[in-house]
A and B are shown apart, each in its own frame.
Chain A
Amino acid sequence: MSFSAVNILGTMPEIYLTFFGCILLILETMIPKEKRSWLAYFTIIALVFAMVASIGLNGKGLPLYSGLYIVDPFSNFFKIIIYIAAIITILFSLPYLDQEDIHLGEYYAFILFSVVGMMVMVSAGDLITLFLGIELMSLCFYVLVGLKRDDNRSVEASFKYFLLGSFTAAIFLFGISFLYGAAGTETISGLAGFISNPGTLKPMVMVGMILTLVGFTFKVSAVPFHMWTPDVYEGAPTVVTGFMATAGKIAAFAVFLRVFWVAFSGNRHDWDILIILVSILSMAVGNIVAIMQTNLKRMLAYSSIGHAGYALMALLLPNRESLFALLFYVFTYMFMTVGAFGVILMMRKKGVEGEEIEDFVGLSKRHPIAALVMLIFMFSLAGIPPFGGFLAKFYIFFAVVHAGYTWLAVVGIIFAAIGAYYYLKVVMAMYMKEPNGSVVFHSSLMGRIALALTAGTTVILGVYPAPFVAYIKSSLALFIP
Chain B
Amino acid sequence: MQMALFAYFGGAVVLSALFVVYFRNPIYSAMSLLAMFMHIAGLYVILEAEFLAGVQLLVYAGAILVLYLFVVMLLNVQSRGRFLQRQTPLVAVIGIFAAVDVIALLLHTRFYPELPAIPHPGVPTLGNSETIGMVLYTQYLFPFEIASLVLLIALVGAIVLAKGKLKYR
Query: B169 near A: Cβ within 8 Å?
Result: yes
CB distance from B135 to the nearest CB of A (A): 10
Q: At the interface with chain B, which of A140-148, A328-336, A351-359?
A: A140-148
Query: B126 near A: Cβ within 8 Å?
Result: no
A143 and B160 contact, CB distance less than 8 A? yes
Q: A18-B149, A65-B141 are in contact. Are A146 and B161 (CB under 8 A)?
A: yes
Which residues in A have their C-beta under 8 angstroms from that of B86?
Answer: none
Q: At the interface with chain B, which of A108-116, A201-209, A367-375?
A: A108-116
A132 and B146 contact, CB distance less than 8 A? yes
Question: Contact check: which of A69, A104, A132 meets B147 at CB < 8 Å?
Answer: A132
Bound CA–CA A143/B161 (angstroms)? 7
B149 and A33 contact, CB distance less than 8 A? no
Q: Which of B152-169 contact A (CB under 8 A)?
A: 152-154, 156-157, 160-161, 165, 167-169
Question: Contact check: which of A1, A101, A109, A113 meets B168 at CB < 8 Å?
Answer: A101
Query: B143 near A: Cβ within 8 Å?
Result: yes
A1 and B141 contact, CB distance less than 8 A? yes
CB distance from A244 to the nearest CB of B (A): 15
Which residues in B have their C-beta under 8 angstroms from that of A234?
Answer: none
Q: Which of B122-152 contact A (CB under 8 A)?
A: 138-143, 146-147, 149-150, 152
B146 and A120 contact, CB distance less than 8 A? yes
Query: A136 near B: Cβ within 8 Å?
Result: yes
CB distance from A273 to the nearest CB of B (A): 31
B139 and A129 contact, CB distance less than 8 A? no
Q: Main SS of chain A's interface residues? A: helix
Which residues in A have their C-beta under 8 angstroms from that of B140?
Answer: 68, 128
Which residues in B have their C-beta under 8 angstroms from that of A149?
Answer: 161, 165
Q: Which of A222-251 contact B (CB under 8 A)?
A: none
**Chain B residue with minimal CB distance to A133?**
B146
A132 and B168 contact, CB distance less than 8 A? no
B147 and A106 contact, CB distance less than 8 A? no
A68 and B143 contact, CB distance less than 8 A? yes
Q: Which of A55-114 contact B (CB under 8 A)?
A: 64-66, 68-69, 98, 101-104, 106, 109-110, 113
**Chain A residue with minimal CB distance to B146?**
A132
CB distance from B133 to the nearest CB of A (A): 14
Q: Which of B54-82 contact A (CB under 8 A)?
A: none
A102 and B156 contact, CB distance less than 8 A? no
Q: A101-B169, A143-B161 are in contact. Are A116 and B149 (CB under 8 A)?
A: yes
A135 and B143 contact, CB distance less than 8 A? no
Question: Contact check: which of B138, B150, B168 meets A135 at CB < 8 Å?
Answer: B150
Query: A53 near B: Cβ within 8 Å?
Result: no
**Chain A residue with minimal CB distance to B168?**
A103
Bound CA–CA A68/B136 (angstroms)? 13
B161 and A132 contact, CB distance less than 8 A? no
**Chain B residue with minimal CB distance to A102?**
B168
Which residues in B have their C-beta under 8 angstroms from that of A109?
Answer: 156
Q: Chain A CB within 10 Å — which of B146, B157, B160, B161 has the most? A: B146
CB distance from B119 to the nearest CB of A (A): 14
Ordered nearest first, which 3 A-B pairs have the shortest CB separation? Answer: A143-B157, A65-B142, A132-B146
- List residues of B whose CB falls within 8 A of some A CB: 138-143, 146-147, 149-150, 152-154, 156-157, 160-161, 165, 167-169
Q: A11-B142, A109-B156 are in contact. List 7 more A-B contacts (CB 8 A).
A: A65-B142, A110-B160, A120-B146, A129-B142, A139-B153, A139-B154, A150-B165
- 26 residue pairs A–B, Cβ–Cβ below 8 Å: A1-B138, A18-B149, A25-B156, A33-B168, A33-B169, A36-B168, A65-B142, A68-B142, A68-B143, A69-B142, A98-B169, A101-B169, A104-B168, A106-B156, A109-B156, A110-B156, A110-B160, A113-B149, A120-B146, A132-B150, A136-B146, A143-B157, A143-B160, A143-B161, A146-B161, A147-B160
